[in-house]
Structure 1
Amino acid sequence: MIYHQAKDPDSYQTIFYKQIGLKRRSASLPENDWANDQIGSIYTYGRMDSIQFGIGDYTIPEDFLVEFQYNTEYLHAGIIYEGITYSLVENRMEQSAIPSPFLAIEQARGGINCWKKGQHFKGVEISIETNYLKHKILPYLGASEDSLDFLIKNVRHIHLPKELTDLILQVQSLLESRSMTPALLLALSTSFTALLIRPDFKQFFFTGTDVMSERIFVGKRQILIRPDDYKKIVAAHDLMREKADSFVTIYALSQTLGIGEQKLKAGFQQLYQQTIWDYANQIRMTKAASLLKNTDKTVDEIAKLTGYQSPAAFRTMFKKWSQTTPRKFRSYFSGTE
Structure 2
Amino acid sequence: MVAKSIKEFQSLILDNLSFIPEDNGHYIIYRNALKPELGYLIKYFREDYYELLIGDYTIYKDFSLSFDHNEEIIRLGIVYKGETEFKLADNTVSSFSPSSFFVNEKGLRGKQSWKKGQHFHGAEITIHKKYFDEVIIPNFANTLNFDNLITNYTYNYLPLDVTSIINNLSSLAQKEQLLPLYLESKILESIALIENELKKSDNVFTNQFNYGDVKIGNNRYVTLTSSDMHAIQKAHDILTDDPCNPPTISNLSKIVYLNEQKLKAGFLAKYHMTIGQYSSSIRMSLAENLLCTTELSVEEISKKLGYHHSGNFVKAFKKAHGKTPLAFRKNRKI
Task: Give the shorter-chain TM-score range.
Answer: 0.5 to 0.7
1:134 and 2:121 equivalent? no
Residue 20 of structure 2 is aligned with which of 20, 23, 26?
23
Find the counterpart in structure 1 of residue 187 from structure 2. 189
**Aligned alpha-carbon RMSD (Å):** 3.6
Distance (whole Å) between structure 1 residues aligned to residue 202 and residue 168 of structure 2 = 22
Aligned positions of 1:150-299 closer than 5 A: 150-198=148-196, 199-200=199-200, 203-208=203-208, 210=210, 211-212=225-226, 213-214=229-230, 215-216=233-234, 217-220=237-240, 234=259, 262=275
Corresponding residue SS for 1:220: helix
Instruction: Using the TM superposition, give the Cα deviation of residue 171 of structure 1 relative to its aligned residue in structure 2, in angstroms.
Output: 1.6
Distance 1:21 1:132, change over 3 A: same
Runs of 5+ in structure 2 lacking a partner?
211-224, 244-252, 280-334
Distance (whole Å) between structure 2 residues aligned to residue 71 and residue 148 of structure 1 = 14
Deviations 1:102-146 (A, max 9, x none): 112122333221111221110010110023123312333x23366
Distance (whole Å) between structure 2 residues aligned to residue 185 and residue 174 of structure 1 = 10
Distance 1:18 1:133, change over 3 A: same
Distance 1:107 1:143, change over 3 A: same
Deviations 1:229-285 (A, max 9, x none): 99x954759xxxxxxxxxxxxxxx969xx987638xx9xxxxxxxxxxxxxxxxxxx
Taking only the aligned residue pairs, the percentage that are identical comes to 26
Which amino acid letter does the alignment assign opposite residue 7 of structure 1?
K
Distance (whole Å) between structure 1 residues aligned to residue 62 and residue 259 of structure 2 = 25
Q: Tell me the TM-score normalized by structure 1.
A: 0.60
Instruction: Using the TM superposition, give the Cα deviation of residue 219 of structure 1 relative to its aligned residue in structure 2, in angstroms.
Output: 3.8
Q: Tell me the TM-score normalized by structure 2.
A: 0.61
Distance 1:168 1:234, change over 3 A: same
1:7 and 2:4 equivalent? yes
Distance 1:38 1:146, change over 3 A: closer
Distance 1:137 1:218, change over 3 A: same
Distance 1:235 1:83, change over 3 A: farther
Runs of 5+ in structure 1 lacking a partner?
224-228, 238-252, 267-337
Which amino acid letter does the alignment assign opposite residue 19 of structure 2?
L
Which amino acid letter does the alignment assign opposite residue 22 of structure 1?
F
Distance (whole Å) between structure 1 residues aligned to residue 158 and residue 62 of structure 2 = 32
How many residues align? The count is: 238
Residue 32 of structure 1 is aligned with which of 28, 31, 35?
28
Deviations 1:280-337 (A, max 9, x none): xxxxxxxxxxxxxxxxxxxxxxxxxxxxxxxxxxxxxxxxxxxxxxxxxxxxxxxxxx
Instruction: Using the TM superposition, give the Cα deviation of residue 48 of structure 1 relative to its aligned residue in structure 2, in angstroms.
Output: 5.9
Distance 1:218 1:54, change over 3 A: same
Distance (whole Å) between structure 2 residues aligned to residue 75 and residue 114 of structure 1 = 22
Distance (whole Å) between structure 1 residues aligned to residue 82 and residue 114 of structure 2 = 10
Instruction: Using the TM superposition, give the Cα deviation of residue 85 of structure 1 relative to its aligned residue in structure 2, in angstroms.
Output: 1.2
